[in-house]
Structure 1
Amino acid sequence: MSEPPDSSESVPENDAATEEEHDKQGLDLAKSLAGRLKQQAAKGGFKPVKRRRRPRIGGAQISSARPDDRDPQRLTNTLGRLMRDQGWEVDVAVHGVMARWQTIVGPEMAEHCKPESYDDTVLTVRTSSTAWKVQLDLLVPQLLFRLNAELGEGTVTQVKVLGPNTYTWRKGTRTVRGGRGPRDTYG
């Protein structure tokens, strides 16, 4: 086993030589700066440095190293902020659902039922025939559940199912119920 070095051994000669060659002027400078700092702290500390305004070029403020609103922004962040500020988030989400209508209701139902409009939590769906209107009327509770799961609770409160667009004999806003129409005998 080897023994640890004896602490009584003398420092090698080259370490003692470096100590003598060391520039004492730098050490004196550091000591004087530390003394001044102590005196300043004893007098009440340092005053905060007053920040100067950035110089303006042509009325616009110059950009700095830190990020701010004047720096180039990602388009997705800018569009997200615009939608949030304008209150368009729900409308955009609903239109996204309309674009994915086939995956939500299935390919066969999507072929015969198309979303027509969304206004104030009411989704209007147009069907291709009265048989599909009846079928969709039966599936409205399930459709509401699915849409609110996709968009957030309370986004769609009612689904209005309309039959196919057919020709109407009505002219004007006021008509007589059971009046003349396509099944009349005219005489």
Structure 2
Amino acid sequence: MKRGSVPGNGRKRKGGRPVRVREPGRGGDPKMFGAAIHELMASRGWEQRAAVGGVFGNWAGIVGAELAEHTRPDRFEDGELTVAADSTTWATQLRLLSSTLVRRLNEELGHGTVRRVKVVGPSSGPRRTGAWRAR
């Protein structure tokens, strides 16, 4: 190749076959990894699920270390986040903070993603039916 010439002009590869040039945007062009993942998630409708998963992974960063020590997000369905607390005291505390928590979660996930936070406390097991008992 001569100095100053443009590669690929008028030249063929060894073997005599011309080099195929792909059209831009036809899927064969390299993309940044983050952009490719974002495009895949958008095309499959996984963006919200991934964002909610990020909240589950960063629970302590959202609610604070002390509250995260006693609570954990359990599931997210139809705009309702269910959070489990390890005691009735912490369940009550979280219920008092639920409107603030909804606002904070929507800042992270996008407006209207979380409509309600449902707090569940520890279960004491099934109650026995029948007469009152004293011990």
TM-score, length basis structure 1: 0.55
Q: Report how far residue 151 of structure 1 moved.
A: 1.0
Structure 2 residue aligned with 1:98: 56
**Structure index of larger Rg:** 1
Q: Which runs of 5+ in 2 are unaligned?
A: 1-18
1:185–1:166 Cα change, 3 Å:
closer
1:109–1:63 Cα change, 3 Å:
farther
Deviations 1:29-56 (A, max 9, x none): xxxxxxxxxxxxxxxxxxxxxxxxxxxx
Q: Which structure 2 residues correspond to residues 11-160 of structure 1 after superposition, within 5 A?
A: 63-64=20-21, 66-67=23-24, 68-160=26-118
Higher-RCO chain (CA-CA 8 Å, sequence separation at least 6): 2
Greater helix share, 1 or 2?
Answer: 1
SS in structure 2 at match of 1:114: strand
SS in structure 2 at match of 1:83: helix
Q: Which structure 2 residues correspond to residues 169-184 of structure 1 after superposition, within 5 A?
A: 169=127, 179-180=129-130, 184=132
Q: Report how far residue 63 of structure 1 moved.
A: 4.5
Structure 1 residue aligned with 2:124: 166
Question: Aligned equivalents of 2:55 and 2:20: distance in 1?
Answer: 41
Asked if the contact 2:22–2:28 (Cα under 8 Å) also holds between the matched residues in 1, the reply is no
Q: Percent same amino acid among aligned pairs?
A: 42
**Which letter maps to 2:101?**
L
1:136–1:63 Cα change, 3 Å:
farther
Q: Which runs of 4+ in 1 moved over 4 A?
A: none
Q: Please, what is the CA RMSD of the aligned residues?
A: 2.3
1:81–1:136 Cα change, 3 Å:
same
Asked if the contact 2:74–2:84 (Cα under 8 Å) also holds between the matched residues in 1, the reply is yes
